[in-house]
């Protein structure tokens, strides 16, 4: 990377006038992406569960980062998020489906779905589809689904996505979800 990048042309994108919706924005890659998009001029709608972590993120770019608290493991919160964005008349130029979890133990959400599947795969799909259905994604916009090297450990096995509680393996589940993306 370091040797090859010497020959790359300069790259300094300007995201002024764009609105980015970044999930999992309170930490890790999502936080870094949200801050970099804001640094380059984008207005960032930063989505995560923790109001405190989102507030800390917003303090880094208060004029461009807007925190939106939602638990993206829950379908009802995904739907409520999209409904709120629709009421505001938002136009999303970049959707970064970044939120993910790797859980050691089998857990069900309050809606009865396996938590890591709901967070890592199902609700990425629902968020994207709901934004499209309400015409909130800009026609020239981009949808980015953040995968992971964890997918290299497993082939695409659709049936295995229905992992029963007694056979649950968090690392395997995470790899399956990321491969399915």
* CA distances in angstroms from 178 to 47, 99, 121, 142, 157, listed in the order given: 20, 11, 8, 19, 11
| Choice among 106, 152, 168, 174 that is catalytic | 174
- Three-state DSSP class for residue 164: coil
Alpha carbons 69 and 49: distance in angstroms, whole number? 5
Residue 89 burial class via C-beta count within 10 angstroms: exposed 0-12, middle 13-18, buried 19 and up: exposed
* Catalytic annotation present for 168: no
Which residues participate in catalysis according to the annotation? Answer: 174
């Amino acid at each position: 990377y370091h040797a090859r990048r010497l020959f790359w042309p300069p790259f300094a994108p300007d995201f002024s006038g764009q609105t980015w919706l970044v999930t999992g924005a309170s930490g890790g890659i999502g936080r870094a992406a949200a801050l970099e998009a804001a640094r380059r001029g984008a207005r960032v709608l930063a989505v995560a569960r923790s109001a405190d972590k989102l507030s800390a993120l917003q303090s880094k770019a208060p004029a461009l980062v807007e925190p939106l608290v939602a638990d993206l493991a829950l379908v009802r919160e995904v739907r409520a998020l999209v409904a709120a964005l629709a009421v505001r008349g938002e136009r999303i130029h970049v959707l970064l489906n970044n939120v993910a979890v790797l859980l050691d133990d089998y857990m069900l959400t309050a809606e009865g779905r396996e938590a890591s599947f709901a967070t890592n795969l199902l609700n990425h799909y629902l968020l994207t589809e709901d934004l499209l259905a309400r015409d909130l994604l800009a026609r020239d916009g981009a949808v980015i689904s953040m995968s992971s090297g964890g997918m290299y450990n497993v082939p695409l096995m659709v049936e295995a996505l229905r992992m029963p509680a007694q056979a649950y393996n968090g690392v395997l589940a995470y790899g399956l979800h990321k491969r399915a993306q």
